């Protein structure tokens, strides 16, 4: 598959990944992605018609544990790792500008 690795693609991937790169980093990434995707393109040679996708080493469907109520973590303990909190909840900037 011929993938155009240009500024538009890098910007698109930055948005998907919630990352921001400098111009120098973007140029480096473009070259690296070209090499890496070139290596991955080998998969195109392989005939996988009718081969099922395998996302996991084994098939393990609906592995339930007993439906017992167990104690939760203490909220204060969890919030100790928060960059900003008010003692009850995480603090985040508004999701809506303005």
Partner 1 sequence: MMTHDLSALELSRAICAGKLSVLEAVSAAIRLARQNEHNAFLSVAEESSVRRAKKVQEQINAGEIHSPLAGVPIALKDNISAAGTKTTCASKMLGGYTPVYNATVVDKLERAGMIVIGKLNMDEFAMGGSGETSAFGTVLNPWDKSRVAGGSSAGSAAAAASGEVPLALGSDTGGSIRQPCSFCGATGIKPTYGAVSRYGLIAYASSLDQIGPIAMNINDSAALLSVISGPDGKDSTCIIDKAFDFPGGEENQSPGVKIGLPRNYFGDGIDEDVKIAVLAAAKEFEAAGAVVEEFDMPLTDYMIPAYYIIACAEASSNLSRYDGLKYGYRKDGANTLVDVYRHSRSEGFGIEVKRRIMLGSFVLSSGYYDAYYKKALQTRALIKDAYSKLFERFDMILSPVAPTTAYKIGENIDDPVKMYMGDIFTVSVNLAGLPAVSLPCGFDKEGLPVGFQLIGDFFAEEKLIRAAQVYQNLTDHHTKRPGGRC
Q: What sections of the chain are H helices per DSSP?
A: 7-17, 23-40, 75-79
In the region spanning residues 13 to 32, those forming contacts with partner 1, defined by CB under 8 A, are: 13-14, 16-21, 25, 29, 32
**Structure tokens of 3?**
């993938």
Quickly tell me which residue has 């999701």 as its tokens.
Answer: 95
CA distances for 28 relative to 3, 75, 76, angstroms: 17, 43, 43
Q: Is 87 in the site for partner 1 (CB under 8 A)?
A: no
| Contact status: 51 vs partner 1 (CB under 8 A) | yes
User: Least CB distance from residue 85 to partner 1, whole Å?
Assistant: 9
Output the smallest distance, CB 69 to partner 1, in A. 14
Q: Which residues, in sequence order, are CB contacts of 19 under 8 Å at separation 6+?
A: 13
- Interacting residue ranges for partner 1, rule: CB under 8 A: 1, 3, 9-10, 12-14, 16-21, 25, 29, 32-33, 35-37, 39-46, 48, 51-58, 60, 63-66, 73-74, 77-78, 80-84, 90, 92-95, 97
């Amino acid at each position: 598959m011929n993938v155009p690795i240009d500024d538009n693609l890098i910007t698109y991937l930055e948005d998907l990944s919630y990352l921001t790169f400098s111009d120098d980093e973007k140029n480096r990434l473009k070259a690296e992605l070209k090499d890496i995707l070139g290596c991955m393109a080998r998969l195109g040679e392989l005939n996988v018609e009718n081969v099922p996708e395998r996302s996991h080493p084994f098939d393990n469907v609906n592995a339930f544990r007993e439906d017992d109520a167990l104690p939760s973590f203490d909220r204060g303990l969890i919030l100790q790792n928060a960059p900003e909190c008010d003692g009850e909840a995480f603090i985040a900037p508004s999701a809506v500008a303005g």
